[in-house]
Amino acid sequence: MLTDLIGTVAGAVLVGVFGILVALFLMGVDRIVTARMQARIGPPLSQPLTDLRKLFTKENVVPANAIPWLFNLAPVVALASAITILLYIPVGGFPPVLSGGGDLILVMYLLTLPALALVAGGFSSGSPYATVGAQREMVTMIAYEFPLAVVIIAIAWKLAVSGIPRPFMLASVQANPVWGLVGPLGIIGVLILFFVLLIVTPAELSRIPFDTPEAETELAGGILVEYSGKNLALFTLTQGVKTVVMASLVVALFIPYRLSALLPAPVILQPVLDLLFYLVLVVLVAFVAVSLIRVSMARFRINQVVSVYWIYISLIGIAGLLLVMADHFLRVV
């Protein structure tokens, strides 16, 4: 019992450190790639680390009208909850540190915690700009939750009807890629669900075109307008870790493959190959779902965000779910 506890704690620490390092790497890659697509040189890869180091040396300024304890607690809760989500997702071919029969459901709900912490911090700051930003964050969160749920339910349903035990367990999804369980019609449905999750990702991260809660040109930074110093650094790091979380979730659901299964290699090198392959997939997903979209599009208005997710993306996700279901019933008949 004690050995299991020590192993779990050690695994959690390793995954937390790994998640932060990958987050800094993705933030640097995103800024470089975005700059190159805009015909700029861009900052060095280490710029996010430099920015965070500078913020950690700055003073935390708490507004006079703020609720101090909640204002200072929100960024800590946001980062801690983002790292906690990563403990339930397979990373680099390794099993998750924490696991259970309802991993996907738990992850879906845990994804709301960093956003709720951000909302609490915005409301507690006493700033009208932050208040409007917090309201927008809540509306955005409500908007994208349904398409996200459709994707998760569709994959879990397919695993369940295929006779795979614990279909909501991420280890089951990783061991049984959904692509191998469907026919031609189902493959189209899974591709649609893949697209839906990629579109949900920038909204989860409050990135363009779904960055209405911050909207620097409208709300002067919005929900984070009053944050500075260590608190701002923690929120910035939270966004980076959430990028790792969302990219890892996409990989776990739709690309749960190991390079060691395809390339013959010594046993000692197989974990390294799997980890490198995972990092490549995470970078590619982050590029498509974050960098490419934010360079290609302008910010949506908040009413447009709601319309996009509640109407268009939801209908597209339901269509993908129906195609997966139709494929199953046609193959059974």
DSSP characters over 29-62: HHHHHHHHHTT-----TTHHHHHHHHHHTSPPP-
Burial class (CB in 10 A: 0-12, 13-18, 19+), 284: middle
pLDDT at 251: 92
pLDDT at 23: 92
pLDDT at 217: 62
- What are the distances in angstroms from CA 96 to CA 14, 99, 112, 121, 311? 12, 6, 20, 30, 34
Q: Taking the CA atoms of the chain, what radius of gyration do you get in angstroms?
A: 20
Cα–Cα dist 225/177, whole Å: 43
Cα–Cα dist 34/127, whole Å: 31
pLDDT tens digits along 219-275: 566 678 888 889 889 988 999 999 999 999 999 999 888 877 777 767 777 788 888
pLDDT at 257: 84
The list of the chain residues with pLDDT below 50 reads none
Q: How many residues does the chain have?
A: 333
Q: What is the pTM of this model?
A: 0.91
pLDDT at 291: 87
Contact 236, 24 (CB under 8 A): no
Can you read off the two tokens belonging to residue 225? 């307008």
